[in-house]
Amino acid sequence: MSVVVSAKKSGPFAHGFNSVQKTMFTVLLALAPATAFNLYLFGWPAILLFAVTVGACVVIEAVCLQLAGKPVAATLADCSAVLTGWLLAMSLPPWAPWWVGVLASVFAIAIAKHAFGGLGQNVFNPAMVGRTVMLISFPVAMTLWVAPHPLFSPGAPGFADALAITFGGQIPDTMSAASALGHIKTELSRGIPVTQSIIQVPDLMDMTLGYRAGSLGETSLLLVLAGGLFLMVKRVISWHIPASMIGSLFLIAALFHAIDPARFASGTFHLVSGATFLGAFFIATDYVTSPVSKSGQIIFGVGVGLLTWSIRNFAGYPEGVAFAVLLMNSLTPIIDQYTRPRAFGRNRKGEPLSLEKKP
């Protein structure tokens, strides 16, 4: 009974059951309720755009893997391209034409992800790169917001109309609407104070449930929040980035609102509008582009929160989450470097602790 078993590597000879695929799958699952509800709200054009974007991401990923000589099928199975496409679709105007989704996918997958070396190597969040490049390059197409037209409701586009909207680029003028953040910014630029313009945006309940204009992921806060909490329960993400981002955004907005309510919208308004929740739970928490240590994640979250508020208030664009995330992405390596945990038995500088003093 002389069985010789060769070990190719050292221990451990036990491994957890977590995997990249499982992680990505859990995130997709967490996104599903909010996505389904929003696809329902914005109807067939949104469904078509969603399918086009996710499909484009997967195809581009496959092409890039092929070009790089990496295993195609095995890598596609990790679902990271699906997730990127999914998040990208949720950040686009729901009735945007097909080429917006495809072009955004090219920037997200080919440029932001694979040009940097593929999964795990990218500095910037691919979905946000896709969205931001499109927003800068095609501001008109990227700000064509519509009010919700739930599936099968009167006035909602049928499948044929949807084909015309998505692939023909014909959005009926009457259907367009401004997002809350956009509305306030435009009014402010015309000299109308926030205190007045805010009356015309949907009330808090509609904002929370999602009955308002915006991209797929910007509306329906409750379902996004539920998905985020689900991810926390599943320990895919921790509280550090969402709490620090939402907290810092709320605090600075509330502070300035207290100082000048005519110029600055309230903290609550900043929380419920735009992509705050989607950004906090699903975008800023992207593993690859956020810091690895918990203290680094708090710095990152606070940075995203403060930058979001600054961009929303002082920059040319009404929404700032995507820009804020990208800016903080660029700081991630340096945050990582300065927030390494303290090694056991050593002080922060890496010197052994002295015997007399307790740490």
CB nearer to other proteins: pick between 8 and 190? 8
CB nearer to other proteins: pick between 19 and 153? 19
CA angle (27, 338, 126) in 5-degree steps: 35
CB nearer to other proteins: pick between 163 and 292? 292
Q: How far is the CB of 16 from other proteins (least distance, A)?
A: 5
Specify the amino acid at residue 334. Answer: I
CB nearer to other proteins: pick between 280 and 311? 280
Render 201-233 in DSSP notation, one character per residue: SPPHHHHHHT-SSS-TTTS-HHHHHHHHHHHHH
Q: How far is the CB of 21 from other proteins (least distance, A)?
A: 9
CB nearer to other proteins: pick between 276 and 290? 290
Instruction: From 278, 280, 281, 300, select the one nearest 289 (Cα to Cα).
Output: 300
CB nearer to other proteins: pick between 78 and 187? 78
CB nearer to other proteins: pick between 139 and 341? 341
DSSP 111: I
Site residues, other proteins (CB under 8 A): 1-7, 9-20, 22-23, 75, 78, 80, 118-121, 287-288, 290-294, 297, 336, 340-346, 350, 352-355, 358-359
Q: What are the tokens at 210?
A: 């999602």
Query: How many separate helices (H) and strands (E) can be counted in the chain?
Result: 15, 0
Q: How far is the CB of 1 from other proteins (least distance, A)?
A: 5
Instruction: From 152, 133, 172, select the one nearest 39 (Cα to Cα).
Output: 152
CA angle (262, 221, 18) in 5-degree steps: 135
Q: How far is the CB of 87 from other proteins (least distance, A)?
A: 15
Which stretches within 69-147 are classed as H helix?
A: 72-76, 80-91, 98-105, 126-137
Q: How far is the CB of 276 from other proteins (least distance, A)?
A: 23
Q: How far is the CB of 83 from other proteins (least distance, A)?
A: 11
SS3 assignment, position 292: coil
Q: What are the tokens at 263?
A: 């110029």
CB 47 within 8 A of CB 160: no
CB nearer to other proteins: pick between 5 and 199? 5
Q: How far is the CB of 114 from other proteins (least distance, A)?
A: 12
Q: How far is the CB of 295 from other proteins (least distance, A)?
A: 10
Render 67-87 in DSSP notation, one character per residue: HHT--HHHHHTT-HHHHHHHH
CB nearer to other proteins: pick between 218 and 286? 286
Q: How far is the CB of 120 from other proteins (least distance, A)?
A: 4
SS3 assignment, position 277: helix
Render 166-182 in DSSP notation, one character per residue: HHH----GGGB---HHH
Instruction: From 211, 145, 218, select the one nearest 183 (Cα to Cα).
Output: 145
